[in-house]
């Protein structure tokens, strides 16, 4: 059996609106994880998941989260609502402080009003005249960051228009309790039945300075995570996935979830692919799936199930873009829930609603792509009501799947599914393996949690942090394939399923740290410190930064070598040599003259800094060693490749192509107009008409000139290019 395991210095964070009122406690029960010293400087939040990314391209990670329903003293002023919806963007200043771009109180005017006593009664002087006073009125400002606040977010962070900046697509919940700002009325939303719950999905364009602009008419649907709660208050699902499935140079988006209010003739659950229309901010739904047994909408609204031609099986749960069979093309993986009336695969077990589908990305025979369902439903059944993660198998270089939740007929389980694609198995994933935690097969699992798989302690084995589990703990893998925890619990614990965590290297060590928001439990001194109060203890909303201080140092990642880029037959072809580490993936950066900056995983081309913390596994898999996109311009390209560890947070610098394509035209094979013959140092470029000839090497240097249909003396050897009237023909001498 294969092994399934192996796997900006934070200083003081300051915000001008806060001052600590409690001394920093003497933390214990944390092992290698330490609460960041100034953790009380982040605004507490519940019912939210944070996202960490470099939003302003300064090679430092910023933090965003929104929240609602929490009491803040500064919002008790006239004109405000004490339980505001907040939109919080923390920009790392690089000097030990964070600048918070948010939607705080804003002064409006001063009014003269009759003074009232402590019981709210109007006050009069001895002559029975009203006692007047000046009272300042405020309003809640529009968010400085441009992102309208909400709760229960799920994010897709990607550069949709190739300008080199991280944009965001967000699904979230708003309600009518936002009495002061009425943000809900500024959004297009769908109400959940007759509840005070409104689902909205918004696309935001990054302006480059930590602020965003709302993009309208993007064509993407309103969808919510398909959890056990109709109001989307469980945060474990991966509702979105992003990646360039057709290699046209623009990042596409896959969506998996539940519609808010289905109408007749529409599916209730959706699993859909949307193609990016050339970075315009518009997306088009693609019906290019071949599903075993066909794709059907579930029986609903007194209607029988009906077929969805060309669509994916409508599973509500999780979606991932990844190259599952290491052929260089991004495939799609869906896991979650589907009712029996929607499943027509004859191999799927009856009365089992935890459903998984693997769609491999294949040629459609007409120059395009299609997704073919290869799922072996007799073997592969991931869980529902839980999250998933992918992690590289260090023995094979293929991505294994970690899935938790409810398994019909087997209860609540956490399993790993080994990737068998290297054995020629068409189904990619087989039967799952139950894991052993401290000598016990599995734990007393519930559902509603999300695994985050990393090599947290840099020992070469995959570890697991369970986001939403009660003890907020990390389990460390070992050579025996079992998992042990370092301590009984982390000091701040009992984060529930309305909480969320994001893993990122926040202190520059190459290890994954954690930023966590949500409802949790803390003892008195810890509670007071983090909530910035002098009293209390127990349960409450918090925002906590955990610093990973394990003694092991992650190894540096070696850069790929021998990077080459050639334009041939209308394609820009990039090749390289891997570094030999099967836990790495390879990020390709192509600066184009007409499509902006194409980068599989957003990164700084100068420093190599990887700007996002999610979807890094869309980079090219080991041993593929090539990538290509259409060459829609004759010249003006800059090409580089870097290695990214999917175990730790380490990455290499970019290695740039040997060839300079900034001035080299398109290279085509011999054609009816131009042919090249070589005899020793004599080169003849034959063409239909006489024309000037420029012969250059792969670095773009001119090595000879002449005319067509005549001998040209060329002393240089190697791969050369003959430029004739805008055509370029590659030949070897």
> Mind giving me the DSSP string for 566-623?
EEETTEEEEEEE--S-TTEEEEEEEE-SSS-EEESS-B-TTT--B-BSS-GGGSBPTT
Higher pLDDT, 321 or 12: 321
pLDDT score for 14: 33
- pLDDT digits 0-9 by tens, 411-425: 888 899 999 887 666
Residue 384 DSSP label: B
pLDDT score for 235: 64
Higher pLDDT, 672 or 525: 525
Kindly state the average pLDDT of the residues 376-399.
89
Would the pLDDT of 2 be above 70? no
Kindly state the average pLDDT of the residues 505-509.
88
Would the pLDDT of 261 be above 80? no
Q: Which CATH architecture has domain 561-656?
A: Sandwich (2.60)
Q: Taking the CB of residue 343, how many other CB atoms lie within 10 A of it?
A: 27
pLDDT score for 425: 62
Q: Taking the CB of residue 423, how many other CB atoms lie within 10 A of it?
A: 11
Kindly state the average pLDDT of the residues 489-509.
76
Place of tokens 């936002």: 178
CA dist., res. 541 & res. 44, Å (int): 6
Would the pLDDT of 155 be above 80? yes
Kindly state the average pLDDT of the residues 711-731.
81
pLDDT score for 409: 75
| Three-state DSSP string of 449-475 | CEEEEECCCCCCCCEEEEECCCCCCEE
Cβ(108)–Cβ(124) under 8 Å?
Answer: no
Instruction: List, by residue range, all CATH 2.60.40.10 domains of the chain.
Output: 561-656
Arithmetic mean of pLDDT over the chain: 85
pLDDT score for 448: 75
Percent of the chain with pLDDT over 90: 51
- pLDDT digits 0-9 by tens, 177-200: 766 667 777 777 777 777 777 888
CA dist., res. 607 & res. 619, Å (int): 18
Percent of the chain with pLDDT over 70: 87
pLDDT score for 670: 42
Would the pLDDT of 12 be above 70? no
Higher pLDDT, 24 or 12: 24
Length of the chain in terms of residues written: 733
Kindly state the average pLDDT of the residues 349-375.
92
Kindly state the average pLDDT of the residues 713-724.
82
Would the pLDDT of 639 be above 80? yes
Higher pLDDT, 6 or 274: 274
The pTM of the full predicted model, rounded to 2 decimals, is 0.85
pLDDT score for 24: 63
Kindly state the average pLDDT of the residues 50-62.
95
- pLDDT digits 0-9 by tens, 535-576: 767 777 888 888 898 999 999 999 999 999 999 989 999 999
pLDDT score for 667: 45
pLDDT score for 28: 55
């Amino acid at each position: 059996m294969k092994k399934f395991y192996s796997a900006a210095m934070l200083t003081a964070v300051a915000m001008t609106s806060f001052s600590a009122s409690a001394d920093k406690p003497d933390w214990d029960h944390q092992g290698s994880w330490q609460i960041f010293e100034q953790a009380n400087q982040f605004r507490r939040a519940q019912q939210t998941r944070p996202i960490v990314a470099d939003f302003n391209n300064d090679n430092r990670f910023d933090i965003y989260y929104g929240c609602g329903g929490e009491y803040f003293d500064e919002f008790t002023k006239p004109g405000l609502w004490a339980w505001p919806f907040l939109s919080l963007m923390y920009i790392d200043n690089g000097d030990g402080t964070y600048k918070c771009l948010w939607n705080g109180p804003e002064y409006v005017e001063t009014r003269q009003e009759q003074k009232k006593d402590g019981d709210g009664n109007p006050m009069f002087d001895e002559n029975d005249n009203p006692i007047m006073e000046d009272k300042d009125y405020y309003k809640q400002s529009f968010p400085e960051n441009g992102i309208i606040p909400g709760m229960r977010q799920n994010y897709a962070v990607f550069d949709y228009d190739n300008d080199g900046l991280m944009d965001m697509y967000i699904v979230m919940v708003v309600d009518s309790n936002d009495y002061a700002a009425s943000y809900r009325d500024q959004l297009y939303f769908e109400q959940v039945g007759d509840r005070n719950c409104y689902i909205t999905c918004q696309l935001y364009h990054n302006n480059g300075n930590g602020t965003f602009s709302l993009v309208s008419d993007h064509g993407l649907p309103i969808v919510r995570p398909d959890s056990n709660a109709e109001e989307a208050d469980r945060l474990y699902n991966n509702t979105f996935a992003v990646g360039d499935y057709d290699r046209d140079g623009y990042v596409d988006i896959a969506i998996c979830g539940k519609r808010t209010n289905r109408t007749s003739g529409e599916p209730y659950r959706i699993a859909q692919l949307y193609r990016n229309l050339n970075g315009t901010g518009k997306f088009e739904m693609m019906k290019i799936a071949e599903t075993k047994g066909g794709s059907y909408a579930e029986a609903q609204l007194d209607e029988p199930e009906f077929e969805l031609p060309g669509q994916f099986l409508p599973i509500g749960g999780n979606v991932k873009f990844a190259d599952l069979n290491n052929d260089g093309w991004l495939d799609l993986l869906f896991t979650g829930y589907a009712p029996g009336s929607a499943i027509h695969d004859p191999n799927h077990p009856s009365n089992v609603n935890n459903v998984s589908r693997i769609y491999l990305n294949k040629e459609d025979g007409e120059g395009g792509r299609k997704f073919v369902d290869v799922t072996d439903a007799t073997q592969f059944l991931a869980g529902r009501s839980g999250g998933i993660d992918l992690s590289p198998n260090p023995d094979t270089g293929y991505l294994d799947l970690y899935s938790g939740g409810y398994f019909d007929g087997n209860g609540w389980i956490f399993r790993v599914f080994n990737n068998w694609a290297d054995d020629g198995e068409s189904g990619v994933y087989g039967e799952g393996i139950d894991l052993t935690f401290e000598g016990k097969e599995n734990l007393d699992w519930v559902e509603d949690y999300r695994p985050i798989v990393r090599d947290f302690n840099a020992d070469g084995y995959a570890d697991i942090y369970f986001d939403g589990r009660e003890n907020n703990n990390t389990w460390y893998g070992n050579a025996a394939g079992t998992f042990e925890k370092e301590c009984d619990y982390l000091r701040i614990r009992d984060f529930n399923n309305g909480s969320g965590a994001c893993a990122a290297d926040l202190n520059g060590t190459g290890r994954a740290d954690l930023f966590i928001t949500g409802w949790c439990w803390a003892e008195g001194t810890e509670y007071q410190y983090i909530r910035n109060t002098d009293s209390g203890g127990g349960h409450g909303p918090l925002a906590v930064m955990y610093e990973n201080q394990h003694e092991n140092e992650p190894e540096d990642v070696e850069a790929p070598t021998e990077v080459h880029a050639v334009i041939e037959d209308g394609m820009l072809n990039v090749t390289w040599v891997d570094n030999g580490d099967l836990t790495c993936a390879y990020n390709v950066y192509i600066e184009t003259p007409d499509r902006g900056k194409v980068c599989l995983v957003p990164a700084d081309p100068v420093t190599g800094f990887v700007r996002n913390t999610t979807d890094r596994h869309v980079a090219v898999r080991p041993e593929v060693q090539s990538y290509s996109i259409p060459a829609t311009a004759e010249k003006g390209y800059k090409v580089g490749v870097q290695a990214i560890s999917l175990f730790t947070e380490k990455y290499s610098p970019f290695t740039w192509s040997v060839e300079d394509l900034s001035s080299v035209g398109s290279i085509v094979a011999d054609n009816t107009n131009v042919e090249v013959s070589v005899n020793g140092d004599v080169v003849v470029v034959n063409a239909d008409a006489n024309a000037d000839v420029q012969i250059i090497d792969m670095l773009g240097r001119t090595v000879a000139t002449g005319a067509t249909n005549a001998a040209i003396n060329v002393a240089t050897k190697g791969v050369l290019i003959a430029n004739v009237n805008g055509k370029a023909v590659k030949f070897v001498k």
